[in-house]
Amino acid sequence: MSERSNPRADWERGAIAADLRRLLRDSDVVDAPAELHTFAYDASFLTQLSPRVPDAAVIARSVEDVQRVLRYADERGIPVTPRGASTGQAGGSVALIGGIVLSLNAMNRVLEIDVPNMQVICEPGVVHAQLNERLAPHGLLFPPDPGSSRMATVGGMASTNAHGMRAVKYGPTSAWVLGLDVVLAGGELIETGSAGSRAKQSSAGLELTKLFVGSEGTLGVVTRLRLKLMPVPPARAIVLALFDVLENAGEAVQAVYRAGISPSAIEILDERCIRAVNLYRPNIELLPVEALILVEVDGNPPGVRWDAETIVDVVRPLAREAKWSDDARHIAALWEARSLVGAAVGTLRPGSNRAYCGEDLCVPVARIPETLRAIQDISARHGIPIATYGHIGGGGLHPGHLIDGRDPDEIRRVLLVADEIHDLALRMGGTTTGEHGVGAARAGYMEREHGPALDVMRRLKRALDPRGIMNPGTIFPDDLPTLPVELPLAHPVGEPAQATLDPG
Amino acid sequence: MIERRFPDDVKASPATAHGARVPLLEREYGNLLSCVRCGLCLTSCPTYVLTGHEAESPRGRVATMRALAEGRLALTPDLVQHQESCLVCDACTAVCPAGVHMDPLQVALRTTLTERRPPSRIRRSLRTLVYRGLFGDLGRLRVALQLPRWYQRLGIAALARRSGLLRALRLSHLEALLPPMPDAFVVPRGETYPGQSGGARTDTVALFAGCVMSTALAPIDRATIRVLQRAGCDVVNPAGQQCCGALHAHGGDATAARALARRNIVAFGGCGDATVVVNAAGCGAMLKDYPHYFADDAAWSARARAFAARVRDVTEFLAPRSLPYTRAVPRVVTLQDACHLAHAQRITDAPRALLRAVPGIELRDMGESGLCCGSAGVYNVTHPDQATRLQQRKLDHALATGASVIATTNPGCLLQLRAGLAERGRDVVVKHVVELLDEATAP
């Protein structure tokens, strides 16, 4: 049973739910066993292996709900983990050591679209794609665009400082957050980014907004966001370039920048990802090459055309094929394929599952080809197929490991693979997480990644959350216990996964 | 917001690790394990969209089923409630990049529930009277439907409505779904309707008449036959065919579903390899899924596969063909994507192409077209509150297009939307796509 690993006794857990019911609407407090189980995971492999069932969950409907829960939890020293859509891949939105999961996805109102000042005020549970659908009629855009746009909440994006494909030109979420309402441990509500302000910039004091963005719920709970917007670019084009040699793809990116162009996205797919796209969306018909890159440019129509033609010119000598298109449907189809490839790589090995671990390294752009080769080497050494894609313009790479989820030895090996990938990222002069966040999965690498700076983070955390109730176990390795592993049922239930990636 | 009222006849029993096994789910274990929990399904799911509650999402349902299969959770009341509130609309299946298939999971779970639950009187009578009785045999259904026919004919209906009796018995919602009974049903007797080829080659097709389509909605079956004839097809109506069994399977009676499937496979075995044309999306999805029900049955699996390969939705069959239009239908039309066409069969272009080809029709797409209308088999009977919220949401989107006709491809959607429109007093009509084709090709 998953409850086994929870240190709290049954009576204690019942008491927490009963207390919460006195503070909140009865129906917004969750303590039924199967319901609690649905708060035990995110998209990480870590929570596939170790679901973390909370003692209770709360569906917050207002900032007052959040304040009541935090005041109560702080008095009793009960951990609180804020949660959006739980689409994270690092275990940052689950109750790692028990306590209360505070779900914010029902706080999903767009409160005000301030068109002349180009900003939007919204609650944290708004789903990213739905926010942009609401903004589109006003010709406005919130540009950070994670692959999980259709399910991730803007609150979660701020908490993890999500980037997405267009971050290479427009920057991460932090560049677009002007202010936040945050409830601190203990229940105090503050507004960052100058209280009541609608200014688009400010030099007034410490930038608290940036402190909370990316803090993964370890410093407070975001209950409202003031986001900066931009006009929707009137034109867009995409260049598709295919390479027989991986290193040429890296060279091509350098050539694009040398030509004086700032693309709005540059993505790379390796040979296995190309095969996965062809399996998942056969009508796209990509050539089977070692790597492809997708380069998107946006702006005014003649400029976009010049950019696209220039990119084709400079890339063509390095590529098997390079062509551009400004057909909206073609662009949408290629981006859809790109954003779904992460989950679709599973089709490469029938019966296998993608394991999201060691999935988010970021290395210096110039070392990407070298890193990709090293990942292939790790893959071969451990016998775990890996399909890699990522933001080659910014250095972010997402290796997708395919394992037979019922084979304990493959589970053991994929964890070694993840560890070696994190190690590789740091050796290359990069980071263990380019955009997904630390969560619990990467907390163990923070000491090595930050050195003495981690201790400054600790001191900040203690100043804001002296009792340590805010999402313990995330980012800071100190609170993280060894999590018990719950293996799936072993074979022979159903068919085993194929032994190799290449059938026949 | 979800109403937290758990079914009271399922008693929580403590789970023992790897103890209380659920063999039917274990057979779907690979399906369960392929969920990588990316969450892409969340915003496609009607019940999650309504509640925002993870337990009401496909990801949540798959997670709790997996935990159940692993013996980490038991059949607790909350687990059962959230599984049973699934519409089995397969919207999640259609968007899942990892290939999780919800329909067989729900069939496995619900069949398990049927086996494990204390047999309450209501549930047992539902099973014997409705599933195995009424929908277990088309002949019996036709006889039984004489009752509502007389109810409507003799003026009892008007009386019952006026007197407030229906409301008192909490039947007004059910009664609103009941269509006016046609004068005559379509009775499959093996008859053939000759194609009007106009010199071109004629194909032979076999009509899957359907239980609701051949009785309460018989005019749609007739329109289907006429349009197929005009498209140059000889239409055979094989004797002995039955209800497809989808209601049974999704209601947790896989045994009855399998029995009906066998009878259909036999009935349609008599007309060679003729294409089986079906005008009810829910039935089409089930017929195409027959092989799944016989995966472990050596004697029937090959026959089920051969049969399923012949099945085409009527829009799928007609879209590539040219129809002899005789008149314009000057109407603004919006298409209600039936879940079992759009998601389960992945057919969204064919009905649109057919409607656009009709002279005079202006097709306008509605918002959230992929979200279920709440009909979902018997869902509007078992979960009236959720079903009504989805119905209203669907109607808001449909009416916002300014269309005067809502076209659909499934009897459940058709009745659900008609009931909602009648309540709103709107003169917008709901028609099956083939009814519009029939009108445009009438001599």
CB A24 within 8 A of CB A10: no
> What pLDDT score was predicted for residue A498?
53
Nearest residue to B59 (alpha-carbon basis) of B71, B78, B41: B41
Which residue in A has a C-alpha nearest to residue B51's C-alpha?
A106
Q: How many angstroms away from the CA of B398 is the closest CA of chain A?
A: 19
Q: How many angstroms away from the CA of A3 is the closest CA of chain B?
A: 9
> How many angstroms separate the CA atoms of B352 and B224, rounded?
17
B89's CB contacts (< 8 A; 6+ apart) are B46, B339, B340, B343, B372, B376
CB contact under 8 A, A356 and B63: no
Query: What's the whole-number average pLDDT of chain A?
Result: 92
> How many angstroms separate the CA atoms of B322 and B197, rounded?
11
In a structure prediction context, what are the per-residue pLDDT tens digits for chain B, which is 443 residues long?
444 444 544 443 333 444 467 888 888 988 998 899 999 999 999 999 999 899 999 999 999 999 999 888 999 999 999 999 999 999 999 999 888 999 999 999 999 988 887 767 676 777 777 777 777 788 888 888 877 777 777 777 677 766 766 666 666 766 777 777 888 899 999 999 999 876 566 789 999 999 999 999 999 999 999 999 999 999 999 999 999 999 999 988 899 999 999 999 999 998 889 999 999 999 999 999 999 999 889 899 999 999 999 999 999 999 999 899 999 999 999 999 999 999 999 999 999 999 999 999 999 999 999 999 998 877 888 888 999 999 999 999 999 999 999 999 999 999 999 999 998 888 899 999 999 999 999 99
What predicted TM-score, i.e. pTM, was given to this entire model? 0.90
The mean pLDDT value for A385-401 works out to 94
CB contact under 8 A, A33 and B79: yes
Tokens 């939007």 correspond to A120
> How many angstroms separate the CA atoms of B7 and A29, rounded?
19
B363's CB contacts (< 8 A; 6+ apart) are B333, B334, B335, B352, B355, B356
Q: How many angstroms away from the CA of A40 is the closest CA of chain B?
A: 9
> What pLDDT score was predicted for residue B1?
43
Q: How many angstroms away from the CA of A84 is the closest CA of chain B?
A: 10
Which residue in A has a C-alpha nearest to residue B37's C-alpha?
A43
> How many angstroms separate the CA atoms of B36 and B33, rounded?
8
In this structure, of A70-74, A407-411, B341-345, the range with the lowest mean pLDDT score is: A407-411
Nearest residue to B321 (alpha-carbon basis) of B330, B310, B333, B312: B312
Nearest to B52 among A38, A39, A105 (CB): A105
Identify from B21, B50, B54 which residue to disrupt to test chain A contact, counting A C-beta atoms within 10 A and taking the largest count.
Answer: B54
B154 touches chain A (CB under 8 A): no
> What pLDDT score was predicted for residue B135?
78
Alpha helices by DSSP H, listed for B333-410, are: 339-342, 349-357, 379-382, 384-400
Q: How many angstroms away from the CA of B250 is the closest CA of chain A?
A: 21
B249's CB contacts (< 8 A; 6+ apart) are B107, B257, B286, B293
Nearest to B39 among A2, A43, A488 (CB): A43
The kind and range of the H/E element at B346 are none
User: Six-digit token pair at A41?
Assistant: 């995971």
B76 touches chain A (CB under 8 A): yes
CB contact under 8 A, B97 and A280: yes
DSSP A164: B
B368 touches chain A (CB under 8 A): no
CB contact under 8 A, B52 and A87: no
SS3 for B235?
Answer: strand
CB atoms within 10 A of CB A79: 22
Cβ density class B34-43: b for 16+ within 10 Å, e for less = bbbbbbbbbb
Identify from A37, A273, A410 which residue to disrupt to test chain B contact, counting B C-beta atoms within 10 A and taking the largest count.
Answer: A37
Which residue in B has a C-alpha nearest to residue A89's C-alpha?
B38
The kind and range of the H/E element at A251 are helix A246-258
Nearest residue to B404 (alpha-carbon basis) of B355, B333, B351: B333
DSSP secondary structure, A140-154, as one string: EE---B-TTTTT-BH
**β strands within A357-430, DSSP E:** 386-391, 396-403
Alpha helices by DSSP H, listed for A33-145, are: 33-37, 45-49, 63-76, 128-135
B96: which chain A residues are within 8 Å (Cβ-Cβ)? Answer: 343
Pairing of strands A220-228, A291-299: unpaired
A148: which chain B residues are within 8 Å (Cβ-Cβ)? Answer: 38-40
> How many angstroms separate the CA atoms of A180 and A225, rounded?
5
> How many angstroms separate the CA atoms of A27 and A40, rounded?
19
In this structure, of A78-92, A248-262, A298-312, B375-389, the range with the lowest mean pLDDT score is: B375-389
B64: which chain A residues are within 8 Å (Cβ-Cβ)? Answer: 34, 37-38
CA distances from A456 to A62, A205, A206, A452 (A): 33, 19, 15, 7
B74: which chain A residues are within 8 Å (Cβ-Cβ)? Answer: 33
B93: which chain A residues are within 8 Å (Cβ-Cβ)? Answer: none
Identify from B2, B16, B28, B53 which residue to disrupt to test chain A contact, counting A C-beta atoms within 10 A and taking the largest count.
Answer: B53
Q: Label residue A137 by pLDDT band (50, 70, 90).
A: very high
B3: which chain A residues are within 8 Å (Cβ-Cβ)? Answer: 27
ipTM: 0.92
Nearest residue to A83 (alpha-carbon basis) of A67, A61, A59: A59
A318's CB contacts (< 8 A; 6+ apart) are A241, A243, A248, A249, A251, A252, A255
Through-space distance between the first and last CA atoms of chain A, rounded to whole angstroms: 40
pLDDT in tens, A340-362: 788 778 878 877 888 999 999 99
